[in-house]
Amino acid sequence: MNKNIGVYVCECGPNIPERIDIDKVVNEISSMDEVKTVKKYSLMCSNDGKKFLKQEIEKEELTHVVVAACSPKDHENTFMKVCEEAGMNPYLFQIVNIREQCAWMIPDKEEATSKAIQYIQAGIHRVLFHEPLEKKELEINVDALVIGGGISGIEASLSLAGPKRKVHLVEKTDSLGGMAGKLSQILPHQGSKIKSVKEKIEQAKNNENINISTSSEVKEIRGFLGNFEAVIKSTPENGEEKEQEIKTGAVILATGFDLFDLKENPAYGYEKNENIVSALEFEDMINSEKIVLKNGKKPKSVALIHCAGRKEKGYCSKVCCLYNLKFAHYLKDNFPDIDVKELYMDLCLPHKQDQSYFDQAKEKGVEFIRMDEVVKTKSSGDQVEIEYKDNDKTDKLKADMVVVAPAMVPSKDTSHLAELLNLPLDKSGFFKELHEMLDPVATPMEGVYITGCALGPKNIPESMTQSHATSGKILSSLIPGRKIVPEVKVSKIKEELCTGCQTCLSVCFYGAISYDPFKGVSVVNEAICRGCGNCVGSCPSGAIHSKHFTYTQLYQEVLDALR
């Protein structure tokens, strides 16, 4: 095939000609045998510029194009699109950065010009070795698999399910609702009971596009965005064990949380005295409207202890201050003469109505005591005596009933699922999001998202937001009828050179490489591969190459650039 290379030097407005002698560049490049035509242009990325490039490609019958201009991050895609529209393979294009890498950093015009010429020569010699890569289109499944039937999972399912998109909701216990389903009331509306959660559960059950499997777990899962396969194992109490294999397009993990085991810190005396209960047990009492001590009498004083497990786990669980206030209000409203004290390490009151909720509790006579830690609890007659420390000063208080608020910890299934899907966990054992600030519900595995407390302690509105976020991501990426185009510049393993040491597998962040035991070689899944190149660097025999960054391409470029 005849190689007709067209080189275009963009002036980028005044940016480049101020520091680089464009005419000299054009002159030097035109003397190269490999180049069919070289021209300069004022602003290549403008509409006129793009039109000009398209016409040039057609007129000169160009097979390869090099544009010397700004950074590839700015306009590589722009010019590649133009090449495609002009009927040329867009991957036979190379952009050379003579703005940031030459004009903008070399004050001496002669030096900047000669460097620009070198770089363009490097780009030309590189582009000669480009392969005409082809984009692939994959059929996709637009359904979603939601793992976890708590409030987060239910909300995600409700916002996703539709006639063209089914949702499989898998819950390991025999009923939906999770931890939120066990609560007595939801903040901030003191009045409303657990009704709203129950309503959500009913909506999910009545939605014909949501397929619910309770007493079920995901046993296996493999694949990538638009093409997952999962095996769900159901073990109902009164029924047969069965396994079903499903195909799905995306996965949402909504596995929630467990509570810190209060027995781990003997200072709380949990299980030593029956009038020391956990917050969840107290919720039960409110639900059954029976706040009584073990001797059947009503308590005259209640102590609410915050922050249990905070020091051990190293993080604040966010929701306990609010629900303790909920408890305090409930007690004061239903037992007018009851004495309520709250022992806290720090107060967490970040939302709009929290401050006034706290002020109202104080007005009702709730006493707030700051402490560093609970030293020990012991029985004192019929009461519980709590000894606590604040700044080296120890103090004691007595109460009929003690409610301890335990920290939220990752649910037991988190680590198992993380292994199944090759997902990272943070140092507390919660799932790790792709980017803490900028991508808080995604994971390195495209198509796998996380919502709710599986990512860390949070309240119900935050969980709702995250569930909507995961749905949003799925709704916009898995569109019924559309195909997805995976990354083109991926890695490829030469089978005959691979010796199956799996070093590449161990450094792939995206889980895109798998081992084929039959052939004894590793294989790249081109649909998952993001082209990061980690594997290429890790292979000692050079059996892996990147399709758009081959050794030859890079060598040719560097050879010229360093001359």
Task: Provide the residue type at 470 as one letter.
Answer: T
Cβ–Cβ < 8 Å for 193, 184 = yes
Query: What is the rounded CA–CA span in Å between residue 433 and residue 450?
Result: 8
Query: What are the tokens at 528?
Result: 């998952």
Beta partners for 308?
Answer: 406
How far apart CA 415 and CA 436 sit, in angstroms, is 19
- The answer to whether 380 contacts other proteins (rule: CB under 8 A) is no
* From 61, 242, 499, 558, residue interacting with other proteins (rule: CB under 8 A): 499
Among 503, 514, 530, 532, binds other proteins (CB under 8 A): 503
Q: Which residues contact 424 (CB under 8 A, 6 or more apart)?
A: 418, 431, 432, 443, 444
Nearer to other proteins, 113 or 443 (CB): 443
Whole-angstrom Cα distance, residue 388 to residue 370? 10
Pseudo-torsion of CA 289, 290, 291, 295, nearest 10°? 180
Number of C-beta neighbours around residue 36 at 10 A: 18
Nearer to other proteins, 355 or 506 (CB): 506
The minimum distance between CB 513 and other proteins, in angstroms, equals 13
H helices within 377-459, ranges in order? 413-421
- Report the nearest approach of other proteins to the CB of residue 499 (Å): 5
> Which of 214, 235, 379, 538 is the binder for other proteins (CB under 8 A)?
538
Buried b (16+ CB within 10 A) or exposed e, 489-503: ebbbbeeeebeebeb
C-alpha span between 32 and 555 (Å, rounded):
19
Among 500, 523, 534, 561, binds other proteins (CB under 8 A): 500
Q: Which is nearer to other proteins, 292 or 497 (CB)?
A: 497
Give the residue from 296, 278, 271 showing the smallest Cα distance to 402: 278
Which strands form 373-380's sheet, in the order they lie side by side? 373-380, 383-390, 393-399
DSSP 102: I
What type of residue sits at position 431? F
As measured in angstroms, the least distance from the Cβ of 505 to other proteins is: 9
Residue 558 in contact with other proteins, rule: CB under 8 A: no
Among positions 63-122, residues that touch other proteins (CB under 8 A) are none
Give least dist CB 428 to other proteins, A. Answer: 14
507 binds other proteins per the rule CB under 8 A: yes
- Candidates 54-62, 324-332, 456-464, 540-548; binding stretch for other proteins (CB under 8 A): 540-548
Near other proteins by CB under 8 A: residue from 502, 523, 533, 549: 502
Q: How far is the CB of 562 from other proteins (least distance, A)?
A: 12
Please report how close the Cβ of residue 503 comes to other proteins at its closest, in angstroms: 6
Closest CB to other proteins among residues 394, 506: 506
Q: Which of 175, 334, 353, 506 binds other proteins (CB under 8 A)?
A: 506
The size of the interface with other proteins (CB under 8 A), counted in residues, is 19
For residue 420, state whether it binds other proteins (rule: CB under 8 A).
no
Residue showing tokens 């509409």:
47
The interface region with other proteins, picked from 146-154, 357-365, 433-441, 513-521 by CB under 8 A, is 513-521
Among 80, 230, 543, 544, binds other proteins (CB under 8 A): 543
In the list 271, 482, 542, 558, the residue contacting other proteins (rule: CB under 8 A) is 542
Q: Which stretch binds other proteins (CB under 8 A): 78-86, 240-248, 382-390, 512-520?
A: 512-520
Does residue 497 bind other proteins (CB under 8 A)?
A: yes
Binding residue (CB under 8 A) for other proteins from 138, 347, 501, 561: 501
Integer Cα distance of 86 and 51 in angstroms: 10
The distance of closest approach from Cβ of residue 509 to other proteins in the complex, given in angstroms and rounded to an integer, is 10
Query: Do 209 and 161 contact (CB within 8 A), yes or no?
Result: yes
Distance between CA atoms of 37 and 58, rounded to whole angstroms?
13
Footprint of other proteins on this chain (CB under 8 A)? 496-503, 506-507, 515, 517, 520, 538, 540-543, 551
